[in-house]
Amino acid sequence: MQQQISGGSVPQPVQISTIIALIISSLALALSMTSLYLQRRDKRPRLKLDLERKRRDLEVSETDERGFFKVVETDVMEVRAANPTDKQINILSIEFEPEGCKAFSVPLNSTISEIPSHEARDAIVMWDELMHALEDKQLDRVMKGRFILTDAIGYKHKTKSVTW
């Protein structure tokens, strides 16, 4: 004798077309999520940073007897920041981080406040002033460090380490 279940029906077997549709939908979802991730990652501001130590003529705050600013030839570290993105990047701070130590603000002769799209700007650090700042912080035995530029959204752009 067969017992009847009221209001129920026998479940249909899963068809192959349903499985294929589920697999295709899952692949499309994975592809769209990967695409979204890559698009967002590409929007992050990034700078291309170069360091160069060279001799340069700089105006100092002292004036000569005629009232003109004095120009001296001195060693400098030139931090060049190039912006390859389509948006302007605003720089809030430029710091120097000695290897194994906390970063500190560097004495700048010329600074960078903003870098327009597809352009480059230079920050000039006088070498002697940087060495005096390291001595003041009792870090004169540290022989390596790097510059860190912090932008308006808090991202830190770091240069390669410089050795002296």
Instruction: Indicate if the pLDDT at residue 30 is higher than 70.
Output: yes
Provide the strand spans (E) within the chain. 48-63, 69-82, 89-98, 104-105, 108-110, 114-115, 120-126, 144-151, 156-158, 162-163
Give the model confidence (pLDDT) of 33-78 as tens digits: 999 888 776 566 789 999 998 888 877 767 778 877 777 788 888 9
What is the distance between the terminal CA atoms of the chain, rounded to a whole angstrom? 96
Of 66, 123, 69, nearest in space to 94 by CA: 123
Tokens for 4, please give them: 């009847």
- What are the structural domain ranges in the chain? 12-43, 48-163
Which of the following CATH numbers is that of domain 48-163: 3.30.420, 1.10.260, 2.30.110, 2.60.40? 2.60.40
Q: Whole-structure pTM over 0.85, yes or no? A: no
